[in-house]
Amino acid sequence: MRRRAAFIAVVLGAELLLGACSIQPWVKPYERDRLADPIMSWDRDAISGAYLDHVYESREGSRGATGTAGGGCGCN
């Protein structure tokens, strides 16, 4: 019984996801010129962004969720 309920839940979930396909994007492709402007990029300069993340990570107790992967100790 529980297995059948789980199957129905999965099918309903799939229906919901497929329903989302029919959602018309409320920002049309031709309305995205501003979002495509380089000043709207999250990380215009990868080296500079990764470097500053390393500066902070070497001196703070926190880390992560900044989108960079790298290495190094920063021990000194």
Distance CA 38, CA 46 (A): 13
Radius of gyration for the chain, computed over Cα atoms and rounded to the nearest angstrom: 22
19-48 residues in contact with another protein (CB under 8 A) are 20-21, 23-27, 29, 31-32, 34-35, 37, 39-40, 42, 45-48
Structure tokens at 24: 């018309």
Q: Which residue type, as a one-letter code, is found at position 50?
A: A
Sites of contact with another protein (CB under 8 A): 3, 7, 10, 13-14, 17-18, 20-21, 23-27, 29, 31-32, 34-35, 37, 39-40, 42, 45-48, 51-52, 55-56, 58-67, 69-73, 75-76
